[in-house]
Amino acid sequence: MAESRLAFPPCAGPVLDRPKILLVDDRWENLLATEKVLRPLEADIFKAASGNEALSLVLRHAFAIVLLDVQMPDMDGFETALLMQEHESMAGVPIIFVTALSKEEKYASKAAEIGAVDYIFKPINPDILKSKVKVYLDLHVQRAQIMRLNATLSQSNEELERFAYICSHDMQEPVRMMNAFAGLLAESAEDRLDDDSRRYLSFILDNARRMQKMIGDILTFSRIGREEITLETVDCEEILSEILSEFDDTIRKTQAEVTYSRLPCLETSSTLVRILFQNLIGNALKFQDGDHPPVIAIAAEQRGKFWRFAVKDNGIGIDDSFRTRIFTIFQRLHRKENYPGTGIGLSTCRKFVQLCGGDIDFTSVPGQGSTFHFTLPA
Amino acid sequence: MKPFQILLVEDNEGDVEMTLRAFKTAEPPCSLTVAHDGVHALEILRPEQGGTPDSKVHPPQLILLDINMPRMDGKELLEVVKSDARLRHIPVVMFTSSESPNDIRECYERHASCYVVKPFNGKKYAQALHEVVNFWSTTSRLPN
């Protein structure tokens, strides 16, 4: 079933076309001369004898460079350039003015205003013309390559995310079956099993539960960005107290002391605030050495356009060398036996909070505790 | 008392087994017919259209419907049932592994009566089925 929902479009984009150069000049002999100079370059050359002709070519072709004569009857070079730039295929395309006019400053600045990147004076020096055009051609080719690479990357990224989503979604069913039937077996064959067999069954059950937790976490992670984020007025304090009641058992068992100051109401995603508090408070309670009860303080303050939240604990702390690693998916800093977890929580927090215009970071003194900060737009 | 007639549409043998187990102890007693996908379910629901009338449940009082199935999935079957004048009065309870908000919304948009995520824990699985059946058979009134 999964295959039918996974579409793999052909991978690479089209082969890079030869770049196109547009020459615009009202005098045919000038066009031919320029063309002759540029012919050795790896490019196709198009010629237009007027501004109007140039505009109609721009409609049909995506050019890498335009060489534009300034002095033309009817529509001059400046006017042509302005009209050309209204066309979207001209975005970012360098226009080089070719002019016999005096090298007066005012033309230079007018050209620059219009967005010309360069200009060349007549009579043209063929070597200078050729080398200038070559520089812009090379830039164009590099830019096209980067854009193609980006498109390929974002496509494979999308495919990977879709793959993770479908995989984890479809894995829920088999893992639920393993857990259910191992559970049934443990129950119905209890008296007939020896100690080893019972232990093996409990390994199966433990691992099924762990796998289910991982699948659930991966699903949450991959849903961010796939599903629309609903912004609403969120009472952060109300959500915090809901989350704290979910941790009631742990808080009582560990005799944790949890305090918080007034938290704001923000225009944001309630799912995001929930995920942040769930993970940060869960971590603050979990990463403790067990020698003293956890002390956790939650606070928020407004800083310009952002609210900055802090979740502070007195836990084992994080060495600064793990700064990047800690927010990377599946990266764990401890053995599962000591501190269970899937290595997905903080990466989910970061992905989500950044998508909502905020960020997350931490400060820590190993052995004394950590403070996680996150920001949300006010 | 006549047993409560349920059509279970489910392709996973494990789930069929779990559901049959759960209904062994259900109150009131239930009679379960199993279809393995949407196409099979329609054959049972529309015996007059050349399907095999292999069920004593024509029509069932409740449909328990999985989403991911071959040939015709749960959402497609739901749409067919709800646009068939002779079938659309039957409550359809979605019973699936998917917790996807999209799946939940799409099922209600297609007029599912309710949406239940299959609990991971075996005991809770049976308990959820008992609650569903108890609600539809006892708490609520159904036509005829």
Whether A279 is in a domain gets the answer yes
Contact between chains at B98 and A177 (C-beta distance less than 8 A): no
Is residue A113 located within the same domain as residue A165?
A: no
Q: Are residues A79 and A109 in the same domain?
A: yes
Residue A240: which CATH number? 3.30.565.10
End position of a domain, from candidates A166, A193, A223: A223
CB contact under 8 A, A176 and B100: no
Residues A143 and A164 in one domain: no
- 3-class state of residue A355 by DSSP: helix
Q: Do A223 and B97 touch (CB under 8 A)?
A: no
ipTM value for the complex? 0.74
Mean pLDDT is highest, among A7-16, A212-221, A280-289, for: A280-289
Full domain range(s) for residue B43: 4-136
Question: For A158-173, what is the mean pLDDT?
Answer: 82
Residue A290 and residue A339 in one domain: yes
Q: Does B33 touch chain A (CB under 8 A)?
A: no
Q: What is the largest CA-CA distance in chain A?
A: 104
Domain assignment present for B14: yes
A177 contacts chain B (CB < 8 A): yes
Q: What is the DSSP annotation of A114-156?
A: HT--EEEESSP-HHHHHHHHHHHHHHHHHHHHHHHHHHHHHHH
User: Looking at the domain assignment, is residue B116 inside a domain?
Assistant: yes
Residue A14 falls inside a structural domain: no
Token duo for residue B76: 């497609």
CA distance B77 to B108: 13
Q: Does B68 touch chain A (CB under 8 A)?
A: yes
pLDDT at residue A72 in the model: 86
Question: Percentage of chain A with pLDDT > 90?
Answer: 50
Whether A348 and chain B come into contact, CB under 8 Å, resolves to: no
d(CA A151, CA A300): 40
The answer to whether the Cα torsion of A126, A130, A131, A136 is positive or negative is positive
Residue A10 resides in a domain: no
SS (H, E, C) chain B: CCCEEEEEECCCHHHHHHHHHHHHCCCCCEEEEEECCHHHHHHHHCHHHCCCCCCCCCCCCEEEECCCCCCCCHHHHHHHHHCCCCCCCCCEEEEECCCCHHHHHHHHHCCCCEEEECCCCHHHHHHHHHHHHHHHHHHCCCCC
**Residue that is last in its domain, among A223, A247, A280:** A223
Q: Do A285 and A249 have their domain in common?
A: yes
Answer whether residue B117 is part of any domain: yes
pLDDT score at A1? 39
pLDDT in tens, A34-93: 999 999 998 999 999 999 999 999 999 989 999 998 888 888 888 888 888 888 888 888
- Closest chain A residue to B21 measured between Cα atoms? A184
Using CB atoms, which residue from B70, B101, B120 is nearest to A176?
Answer: B120
State the DSSP string of A235-294. EHHHHHHHHHHHTHHHHHHHT-EEEE----EEEE-HHHHHHHHHHHHHHHHHS--SSS--
Residues B120, A169: C-beta atoms closer than 8 Å = no
Same domain, yes or no, for A165 and A193?
Answer: yes
Does B144 map to a domain? no
Contacts of B100 in chain A (CB under 8 A): 169, 223
Q: Tokens representing A46?
A: 């198009």
Question: Minimal Cα–Cα distance from A53 to chain B, Å?
Answer: 52
* Residue A202 pLDDT exceeds 50: yes
Count how many pairs of residues, chain A against chain B, have C-beta atoms within 8 Å: 39
Q: Which residues on adjacent β-strands are paired with residue B9?
A: B35, B65
At B54 the pLDDT is 53
Q: Is residue B143 part of a domain?
A: no
**Is A6 within a domain?**
no
* CB of A212 less than 8 A from some CB of B: yes
Q: Which domain holds residue A193?
A: 156-223
Is A11 inside any structural domain? Answer: no
One domain for residues A318 and A214: no
Kindly give the parts of chain B with pLDDT less than 50: 55-57
Q: How far is A85 from chain B (nearest CA, A)?
A: 43
Same domain, A180 and A260: no
∠A7-A13-A19 over CA atoms, to 5°?
165
Number of domain units in chain B: 1
Is-contact A40 A129, C-beta < 8 A?
A: no
Residues A246 and A285 in one domain: yes
B131 inside domain: yes
Residue A240 and residue A214 in one domain: no
Number of compact structural domains in chain A: 3
Q: Tell me, yes or no, whether A13 lies in a domain.
A: no
Determine, yes or no, domain membership for A9.
no
Q: What is the pLDDT of residue A2?
A: 39
Residues of B in contact with A1 (CB under 8 A): 68, 70
CB A92 within 8 A of CB A50: no
Q: Which two tokens stand for residue B113?
A: 């009566």
Measured from the Cβ of residue A318, the count of other Cβ atoms closer than 10 Å reads 21
Residues A145 and A172 in one domain: no
The CATH number of residue B112's host domain is 3.40.50.2300
Q: Which of A264, A263, A267, A262 is nearest to A233 (CA)?
A: A267
* Shortest Cα distance, chain A CAs vs residue B30, angstroms: 22
Q: What angle do CA A280, A211, A281 make, to 5 degrees?
A: 10
Last-in-domain residue among A133, A149, A165: A149
Better-predicted residue by pLDDT, B68 or A298? A298
The pTM of this model reads: 0.62
Q: What is the distance in angstroms between the Cα of B101 and the nearest Cα belonging to chain A?
A: 8
Eight-state DSSP code of residue A101? S
DSSP A171-237: HHHHHHHHHHHHHHHHHHSGGG--HHHHHHHHHHHHHHHHHHHHHHHHHHHHHBTTBPPPPEEEEHH
Q: Which residues pair with A371 in a beta bridge?
A: A312, A363
Q: Are A207 and A244 in the same domain?
A: no
**In a domain? residue A8:** no
| pLDDT tens per residue across span A301-346 | 999 999 999 999 999 999 988 888 889 888 888 877 778 888 889 9
Q: Do A177 and B15 touch (CB under 8 A)?
A: yes
Q: What is the DSSP letter of A327?
A: G
